[in-house]
Structure 1
Amino acid sequence: MSPRPDDPVRPSPIEAIRDDLAAVDTLTAGMTKVTAGFLLQTPRPTLVECGPAVSIQSVIEGIRAHGLDPDDLAYLVISHIHLDHGGGAGDVAEAFPNATIVVHEVGVRHMVDPERLNASSKRVYGPLYDSVYGACTPIDEDRILGVGERETLDLGGGRRLELFQTPGHAKHHIGIFDPDTGDLFVGDSVGVKMPGMDVIRPATPPPDFDYVLAQRSLDTYLSLAPETVHLAHYGAVDPPMEALQEAKDRLEIWMEAAEAAWTDNADLDHVAETLGHRFASEVTDVDGDPDAKGRVELLSGIRSNAMGLVRYLDLKEQGRVAT
């Protein structure tokens, strides 16, 4: 759901990280610092993440104002197909007709025919579906590159991106690594850390969350020894190796707390209440920033995390998860 033609479009703020890399604030939910895109200003310009359909015109106008003409964008790489990351991909494909849309191979069919993705998202998000996310629009299959176990994108000038599967947060998640600069773009697979947060909080939503796979993906990231780790929610976390280890530790703490509550009483409300008592203090008010707690609740809320953890524990009890 892009804005109507007569609605004013606020271009996404773009903040230079280096001469060849900029953060694009997607203005998700009308708030700043919710979901970041990253513009690689290489000979073949590449956008990592685009945000949801509702705010995608802001992203398009922002990167055009930053100097990208319609024929310039070579790639849009989406870490996973959740709507806050790739919901606006169809609009980007239309606005930049030379761009190849890059997603996990599992996500290709949902980009071509998003009917099921839109329907399931509407069930999950309820009234927020229309106001925050909006419907994905179809993309021609010949415009899409599906990432298998490993893929390399040629960015020109000797630069490349290495893409690889990183399940755990979602089965259709990929990691994105620039070996020349050490930049690692991790989507939601490391967690979230936004204004008002002193620690990384895991993102464990249903239906795909898998604890064992998530920890393995974090180990994969550690093996790369990245120079910078860029979270979609929101921005770089430093020092990078310590941040990745923190993500592993915090995920373990959340898993242990959820399992203890679930063992006592497997009811979702009980588990969510227990986690709320334990972890609500992770998010604090920020002076002059009334959106601080709302950002976290939107993207990694206690109940959403509890739903994913409880589903994982139920499947684990049935022997239906990775070991």
Structure 2
Amino acid sequence: MSRIQQLAPNFYCIDTHDLNREQRTSSYLLIDEKIALIETSASPSMPYIVEGLDELHIALEDIQYVIVTHIHLDHAGGSGLFLQNCPNATFVVHPRGVSHMVDPSRLIASAKSVYGTEFDRLFDPIVPIDSERIIEIGHEEVLSLGQHQLTFYHTEGHAKHHVSMLYSATNGLFVGDTTGVRYPEMESESIDLIIPSTSPNQYDPDTMEQSIQLYEKLNATELYFGHFGAYKNPAEAYKQVRYWTPLFLAEGKKALTVSSDFKEQVHFLDTRLKELLHNYLQENGIPKNHPVYETIPFDTIVSAMGILDYLEKKNT
């Protein structure tokens, strides 16, 4: 499968192969009078982005904006490394993300608490960004690229440092993780699978719902996921996040009763989330050997941690 997909004139999706998997994370290239790259994924994804730019005959010196929806490492972890090779680029991020990109030590510590010994393989290196190269983007602020523009919205729920962008060229929304994780393995099937992204440690289902309601008011015609790609049925994405969220939280509450040990709670909840999703898929005719079953565990383990973190904070 090609690593580059043209979504509209001068608008491309580049597969950045997070976790060394195809169709796991997306970067988006917007070619206008000013060229912007949205999402860098983690540092190990840099060769895929550079290869995609080469294929599109875009030099690193031509990139003028590097934009991230939020600062989780699978979206922004490679930004510092990428910017080292883009001398004319400015980094655009939510105001709450600025200090962490200038000094990523807390980001690194947080990711290590989730990924443990796998951290280096998945994310290293994390390169700081000079504060003079950073734009703090405000809610409803507009960034002109030339013929078209991006309008930014602060969209909490997945993280407090999350922004979404409405692209005037397509009336599409860059949603980061606000509308969850989409499984492109299901594109040839009769159903889609989109689950809420509840990773630690700022997940909040109430503010996520508020952000989705904002999306509905904006009336975007398509969504551009961090995980993964363009999706032309926004209403279905909102519906699925709303369907799965209460089910995930209910299982999280059960997990808190089975043990006082966090690792045991995570194991219980991860198992239950996988069972919920597997049952749903099999009830809808998706056979057990379908590739989607290989991808789901990458999400349920992290989602389990975030749900338990949210419930613990809510109970204290």
The interval holding the TM-score normalised by the smaller chain is 0.7 to 0.9
Cα distance in 2 for partners of 1:75, 1:163 equals 14
Cα distance in 2 for partners of 1:286, 1:270 equals 21
Aligned-pair CA distance for 1:312: 1.3
What SS class does the counterpart of residue 184 from structure 1 fall into?
strand
Which residue type is aligned with residue 113 of structure 1? D
Distance 1:296 1:63, change over 3 A: farther
Aligned to 2:170: 181
Aligned-pair CA distance for 1:264: 4.9
Is 1:82 aligned to residue 37 of structure 2?
Answer: no
Aligned to 2:296: 296
Aligned to 1:306: 304
Cα distance in 1 for partners of 2:140, 2:244 equals 28
User: Where do residues 126-205 of structure 1 align in structure 2 (5 Å cutoff)?
Assistant: 126-157=116-147, 159-197=148-186, 198-205=192-199
Map Cα deviations across residues 116-158 of structure 1 (whole Å, 9 max, x no partner): 212321232123212222231011111111223332111112x
Aligned to 2:243: 249
Is 1:229 aligned to residue 227 of structure 2?
Answer: no
From 19, 38, 44, the equivalent of 1:29 is 19
Which residue type is aligned with residue 68 of structure 1? I
Aligned-pair CA distance for 1:111: 1.1
Cα distance in 2 for partners of 1:273, 1:24 equals 32
User: Where do residues 67-106 of structure 1 align in structure 2 (5 Å cutoff)?
Assistant: 67-106=57-96
Which residue type is aligned with residue 240 of structure 1? P
What SS class does the counterpart of residue 196 from structure 2 fall into?
coil
Cα distance in 1 for partners of 2:60, 2:309 equals 43
Distance 1:179 1:249, change over 3 A: farther
Map Cα deviations across residues 273-297 of structure 1 (whole Å, 9 max, x no partner): 433332334566797x86x444332
CA contact (8 A) 1:118 1:135 kept: no
Aligned-pair CA distance for 1:266: 6.4
The gaps in structure 2 that reach 5 residues or longer are: 187-191
Which residue type is aligned with residue 310 of structure 1? L
Cα RMSD (Å) of the superposition? 2.3
With 64-73 and 85-94 compared, the bigger mean Cα shift is at: 64-73
From 268, 277, 282, the equivalent of 1:279 is 277
What SS class does the counterpart of residue 168 from structure 1 fall into?
coil
- Percent of aligned pairs with the same residue? 32
Aligned-pair CA distance for 1:238: 3.1
Which residue type is aligned with residue 209 of structure 1? Y
Aligned to 1:66: 56
Aligned to 2:209: 215
Aligned-pair CA distance for 1:226: 0.4
Which residue type is aligned with residue 73 of structure 1? I
Distance 1:294 1:278, change over 3 A: closer
Aligned-pair CA distance for 1:177: 0.9
Comparing both structures, which one devotes a greater share of its residues to helix? Answer: 2
Distance 1:266 1:238, change over 3 A: farther
Aligned-pair CA distance for 1:245: 2.9
Map Cα deviations across residues 207-245 of structure 1 (whole Å, 9 max, x no partner): 111111111111111111101111111112232223223
Q: Number of residues paired by the alignment?
A: 301
What SS class does the counterpart of residue 150 from structure 1 fall into?
coil
The gaps in structure 1 that reach 5 residues or longer are: 1-11, 319-323
* TM-score, normalised with respect to structure 2: 0.87
Distance 1:19 1:279, change over 3 A: same
Distance 1:121 1:285, change over 3 A: farther
